[in-house]
Amino acid sequence: MTTRWLGHRPIAKVFSNRFLLPQISRRIAPICQTWPCRNLASLNTPAADDTVEILGQRFPRDKNTNVTTTITAKTARLLHRQPNHPINILKRRIEAHFKNYKVVDSMNPAVTTQQNFDSLLFSADHPGRAPTDTYYINSNTVLRTHTSAHQSEVLKTREAEGYLLTADVYRRDEIDVSHYPVFHQMEGLRTFDRKNLEAEAVVNVAGTSIKGAVLSETNPVQLAHTTREAELVDQHLRHSLEGMVRDLFREEKDLEIRWIEAYFPFTSPSWEMEVLYRGSWLELLGCGVIQQKIMDDANNADRVGWAFGLGLERIAMVMFDIPDIRLFWSSDERFLSQFSSGQIVKFQPFSKYPACYKDVSFWCNQGFHDNDFAEIVRDVAGDMAEDVKLIDKFEHPKTKRVSRCFRINYRSMDRTCTNEEVDKIQDEVRRVAATTLGVELR
Ligand code: DAH
């Protein structure tokens, strides 16, 4: 049983004494104004001094601010609403499947910690709250880390029985071809009148992947629910999701689906759905029966319901054969022109430009976190950084200090870069790491 952020590494990891990244954006000097990938100068605009601006709204900075303008700039992109973009094409496919669900796709990405964590019953010490994993705008406000952050407010409206809520979500993370600090999720919600559940929720599960009892010690029915209620909601949930996924992968005639018991603070029982795709099991979504306390708190005490959350990039990468997550952010016509509304086509790669590997080694302080270094690489190199790998780590036998060596793979998506250009960026990465993380370069 794992707790995890969907589509990302497990977060049930040791969390102690986390190092809070100082406000690096203000410390990075522009290195190369002609750099096409991003505008480093924007990191130093006066507005960045004591406020963080998100979609025109200003938030005061405080000691917990760790978001940079590289990240906040992405809030305006709204790829999920851009016609002919693969994320939008996939979003619309799923919306077309769930016909009567209300579509919500313009929620503000700046949410309170109450919305992102407390309303979903995350414990006070839940690792998801760690500043190494989450972008804090200030102590009370974060860039939403998942679309579940909006569950309560959407439920409170009582406008529909079902909702599909799509949004950009933000997580501090490692750097590689399938991880990007911003990605898109879709949250599905469906509620039923508790008094009329037998009629509203009953489905025929014969011939589906749903086998076995819901009841299990590790994946329990909530105290607030009868076994029959949980069974009905759970079967309606898995039946609906199986139908949606079979519709999405309609070319794969005998798609194999399996349900893995999961844990989320906001659902029970909870599941992850995996599909067997080209020989390997692919995790597509997390889901479960909504904790009744969330329903009660959201003015829905008379109803029971289910929820799911899925990562759109992960599915789009498979459906459109897109090999690198940075491509979704590309404004290169050679990428964008390949897709058009309503069509699932295979991406035809244009030539891959040469990679340039650079290593950096340093002695680390206590509390150093790999994500803090990744953030600096993101900030300095932007989308030039294809991946960052920890290739060596050792402890000095006498001083007990730990040395880490990271290998950065630089590769532009749209041109060949010179070694000199990359050297400049690498020098800046080294400089910023030394000054903001307090590491000692080797
Ligand atoms: N919010 C979860 C995540 O980002 C995904 C998720 C799991 C959403 C279960 C749900 C759910 O609504 O019921 O990892």
Report the CATH number at residue 424: 3.30.70.380
Is the residue at 15 inside a domain?
no
* pLDDT range class, residue 26, cuts 50, 70, 90: very low
Q: Is the pLDDT of residue 93 over 70?
A: yes
* Cα 331 from chain centre: 21
The residues with which 310 forms a beta bridge, in sequence order, are 186, 285
Helix (H, G, I), strand (E, B) or coil at 244: helix
Share of the chain above pLDDT 90, in %: 81
Number of domains into which the chain is organized:
2
Pair 311, 362 in one domain: no
267 Cβ below 6 A of ligand 1 = yes
pLDDT at residue 44 above 70? no
Query: Do 310 and 360 fall within a single domain?
Result: no
What confidence tens digit (pLDDT) does each residue in 345-361 have? Answer: 999 998 889 999 999 99
Q: Is residue 113 one of the residues assigned to a domain?
A: yes
Show which of 305, 337, 369 is a domain's final residue.
Answer: 337
pLDDT of 300-331, one tens digit each? 999 999 999 999 999 999 999 999 999 999 99
- How far, in Å, is the centroid of ligand 1 from the Cα of 228? 23
Residue 428 sits in the same domain as residue 284? no
Give residue 7 CA to ligand 1 midpoint distance, Å: 10
Q: What does the buried/exposed string (b/e) look like for 230-263 if buried means 16 or more CB atoms within 10 Å of the residue's CB? A: bbbbbbbbbbbbbebbbebbeeeeebebebeebb
**Residue 426, domain member (yes or no):** yes
At 350 the pLDDT is 87
In a domain, 38, yes or no: no
Assess contact for 190 and 236: CB atoms under 8 A.
Answer: yes
Which residue's CA is the closest to the ligand 1 atom numbered 6?
Answer: 309
pLDDT of residue 213: 54
Question: How far from each other are the two terminal CA atoms of the chain, in whole angstroms?
Answer: 41
Instruction: Write down the pLDDT at residue 252.
Output: 87
Predicted confidence at residue 255, as pLDDT, reads 92
380 and 295 housed in the same domain? no
Candidate of 191, 264, 295 to mutate for ligand 1, largest count of ligand atoms within 8 Å of Cβ: 264
286 C-alpha vs ligand 1 centroid, how far in Å?
A: 5
pLDDT at 130 over 80: yes
Mark whether 273 and 312 lie in a shared domain: yes
The residue contributing the CA closest to ligand 1 atom 8 is: 309
For atom 7 of ligand 1, the residue with the nearest CA is 286
Q: In the predicted model, is pLDDT for residue 137 greater than 80?
A: yes
The answer for residues whose C-beta is within 8 angstroms of residue 166's C-beta and 6 or more apart is 80, 91, 103, 104, 105, 147, 184, 185, 186, 187, 312
Ligand 1 centroid distance, CA of 87 (Å) = 19
Residue 25 has what pLDDT? Answer: 32
Q: Are residues 60 and 165 in the same domain?
A: yes
For residues 140 and 242, membership in a common domain is answered with yes
On whether residue 2 sits in a domain, the answer given is no
The whole-number pLDDT of residue 352 equals 86
- Whether ligand 1 lies within 6 angstroms of the CB of 335 is answered as no
Q: What are phi and psi of 190, to 5 degrees?
A: -145, 130
264 lines ligand 1 (CB under 6 A): yes
Confidence (pLDDT) at 28? 30
Residue 286 Cβ contacting ligand 1 at under 6 Å: yes
pTM attached to this predicted model: 0.86
Q: What dihedral do alpha carbons 338, 341, 345, 347 form, nearest 10°?
A: 30
Same domain, 299 and 426: no
Specify whether 364 is located in the same domain as 316: no
Ligand 1 center to 6 CA (angstroms): 7
pLDDT surpassing 50 at residue 180: yes
Of 237, 281, 296, 288, whose CA–CA distance to 266 is shortest? 288
Q: Is the CB of 382 under 6 A from ligand 1?
A: no
Ligand 1: does its nearest atom lie under 6 Å from the Cβ of 308?
Answer: yes
CA of 311 to the centre of ligand 1 (A): 9
Q: In which domain, by residue range, is 395 found?
A: 356-441
Atom of ligand 1 nearest to the CA of 169: 4
- Name the residue of 148, 238, 290, 306 to mutate for ligand 1: max ligand atoms within 8 A of Cβ: 148
For residues 76 and 56, what is the distance between their CA atoms, to the nearest angstrom? 10
Tell me which residue of 288, 265, 290 sits closest to 4, measured CA to CA.
265
Residues 184 and 284 in one domain: yes
Give yes or no: residues 272 and 187 share one domain.
yes
> Between 200 and 215, where is the model more confident?
200
Question: Which pLDDT band holds residue 409 (cuts at 50, 70, 90)?
Answer: very high
Which among 282, 307, 337 is the end of a domain?
337
User: Would the pLDDT of 244 be above 60?
Assistant: yes
Cβ of 309 less than 6 Å from ligand 1: yes
Is residue 146 within 6 Å of ligand 1 at its C-beta?
A: yes
Q: Which of 304, 337, 370 is the last residue of a domain?
A: 337
Question: Are residue 91 and residue 202 in the same domain, yes or no?
Answer: yes
292 lines ligand 1 (CB under 6 A): no
- Report phi then psi at 258, rounded to 5: -135, 155
- Token reading at 249: 């992968």
Q: What is the pLDDT of residues 205-228, one digit of tens each?
A: 888 888 755 568 889 999 999 999
Contacts of 96 by beta carbon, 8 Å cutoff, 6+ apart: none
Residue 392 pLDDT > 70 = yes
The predicted pLDDT at position 35 comes to 27
In this prediction, what percent of the chain has a pLDDT beyond 70?
A: 88
Is pLDDT above 50 for 398? yes
Tell me the C-alpha distance between 102 and 157, whole Å.
11
Cβ–ligand 1 contact at 149 (below 6 Å): no
CB of 148 sitting under 6 A from ligand 1: yes
- Following DSSP, what letter does each residue of 187-239 receive, concatenated? EEEEEEEGGGHHHHH----TTSS--S-S--TTSPPPTTS-HHHHHHHHHHHHH
Residue 170: beta bridge partners?
182
422 in a domain, yes or no?
yes
Q: With contact defined as beta carbons under 8 Å apart, do 184 and 325 qualify?
A: no
**Measured in angstroms, how far is the CA atom of residue 313 from the centroid of ligand 1?**
15
Q: In this structure, what CATH number is given to the domain that contains residue 155?
A: 3.30.930.10
Ligand 1 atom nearest residue 311's Cα: 4
What does 313-356 look like in DSSP terms, one character per residue? HHHHHHHTT---GGGGG---HHHHTT--TT------PPPPPPPE
At 212 the pLDDT is: 59
The residues near 249 (Cβ < 8 Å, ≥ 6 apart) are 255, 275, 277, 319
Distance CA 201, CA 193 (A): 9
**Would the CB of 7 count as within 6 Å of ligand 1?**
no
Residue 6 included in any domain: no
**In a domain? residue 274:** yes
Q: How far is the CA of 309 from the centre of ligand 1 (A)?
A: 4
Q: How far is the CA of 111 from the centre of ligand 1 (A)?
A: 17
More confident: 8 or 240: 240
User: Is ligand 1 within 6 A of the CB of residue 287?
Assistant: yes
Q: What is the predicted pLDDT for the residue at 192?
A: 98
| pLDDT per residue as tens digits for the range 255-281 | 999 999 999 999 999 999 999 988 899
With a 6 Å cutoff on the Cβ, whether 5 touches ligand 1 is yes
**Whether pLDDT at 238 is above 60:** yes
